[in-house]
């Protein structure tokens, strides 16, 4: 058996954990104002190639050309305080396109602020099959090929954005360092529940973080000397 990392969680840095969450609109007039605001979409890749930034840019350009109104902002290579400020002023976050995890650190920082996060990748069905359902963060996961449509949906539907943001802000409460440490100690003592574990022999995922499916298949073929798709 293998311990599921999502069962333990990665502790959230204290400086992030103390950042206040912007409240949702509390009146009809506030709701109307939120609806009129041009949605700000933020992407902040630590490595544009690994995070699939070219695909993000292409999806945004496609949507803008089709008439969708949004304010796309991209930050890279800037201090964390600038990223946190940008997160506080955005409506939707695009984390990455080829992820192996539903909520890496940038997505976690956004979640703590109640910001909805889109995460692209290929292994979501596999995770749902192997992982205890309660451990899955409520990020907006999608196939990289569906990125443009998912962005369009959440740019166009502020209520859906708000719902995901609220769910994420609630989820990350379990990442308070003391709670993470308690779960880790439970596992180390051998007292963790059975649902915290999975059988690695059941894993069939063969794609990779930071790689398109086509590129991963090509690398496997190059290494193994056969068509490894």
- 3-state per-residue secondary structure call for the chain: CEECHHHHCCCCCHHHHCCCCCCCCCCHHHHHHHHHCCCEEEECCCCHHHHCHHHHHHHHHHHHHCCCCCEEEECCCCCHHHHHHHHHCCCEEEEECCCCCCCCHHHHHHHHCCCCEEEECCCHHHHHHHCCHHHCCCCEEECHHHHHHHHHHHHHCHHHHHHHHHHHHHHHHHHCHHHHHHHHHHHHCCCCCHHHEECHHHCCCCCCCCCCHHHHHHHHHHHHCCCCC
How far, in whole angstroms, is CA 206 from its chain's centroid? 20
Q: What are the pLDDT digits (tens) for 116-129?
A: 999 999 999 999 99
Give strand pairing partners of 120: 142
- Please give the pLDDT value at position 111: 96
**What's the average model confidence in pLDDT over 180-190?**
96
Residue 224 pLDDT grade (very low, low, confident, very high; cuts 50, 70, 90): confident
pLDDT given for residue 171 in this prediction: 96
Average pLDDT, the chain: 89
Cβ atoms of 152 and 181 closer than 8 Å: no
Tell me which of 100-104, 150-154, 210-214, 225-229 is least confident: 225-229
**Which has more confidence, 216 or 22?**
216
Q: Is the pLDDT of residue 28 over 50?
A: no
Could you give the CA distance from residue 99 to residue 138 in angstroms, rounded to a whole number?
15
Question: What pLDDT is attached to residue 12?
Answer: 87
Evaluate if residue 167 carries a pLDDT over 70. Answer: yes
> What is the pLDDT at residue 25?
47
> What pTM value is reported for the model?
0.88
pLDDT digits (tens, 9 = 90+) for 29-49: 455 554 568 999 999 999 999
pLDDT classification of 21: cutoffs 50, 70, 90: very low
Q: For residue 167, how many other CB atoms are within 10 A of its CB?
A: 15
Other CB atoms within 10 Å distance of the CB of residue 77: 10
> Cα 28 to chain center, whole Å?
30
The pLDDT assigned to 13 comes to: 72
pLDDT on residue 37: 82
Confidence band for 227, pLDDT divided at 50, 70 and 90: low
């Amino acid at each position: 058996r293998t311990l599921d990392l999502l069962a333990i969680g990665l502790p959230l840095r204290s400086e992030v954990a103390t950042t206040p969450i912007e409240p949702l609109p509390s009146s009809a007039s506030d709701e109307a104002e939120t609806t009129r605001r041009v949605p700000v979409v933020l992407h902040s890749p630590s490595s544009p190639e690994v995070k699939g930034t070219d695909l993000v840019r292409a999806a945004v350009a496609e949507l803008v050309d089709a008439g969708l109104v949004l304010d796309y902002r991209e930050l890279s290579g800037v201090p964390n305080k600038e990223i946190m400020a940008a997160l506080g002023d955005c409506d939707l976050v695009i984390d990455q396109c080829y992820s192996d995890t539903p909520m890496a650190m940038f997505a976690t920082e956004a979640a703590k602020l109640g910001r909805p996060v889109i995460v692209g990748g290929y292994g979501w069905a596999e995770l749902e099959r192997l992982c205890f359902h309660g451990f899955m963060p409520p990020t907006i996961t999608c196939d990289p090929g569906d990125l443009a449509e998912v962005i369009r949906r959440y740019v166009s539907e502020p209520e859906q954005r708000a719902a995901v943001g609220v769910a994420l802000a609630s989820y990350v409460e379990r990442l308070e360092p003391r709670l993470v440490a308690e779960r880790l100690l439970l596992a180390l003592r051998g007292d963790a529940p059975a649902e915290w574990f999975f059988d690695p022999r059941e894993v069939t995922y063969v794609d990779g973080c930071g790689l398109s499916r086509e590129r991963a298949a090509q690398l496997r073929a190059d290494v193994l000397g056969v068509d490894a798709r």
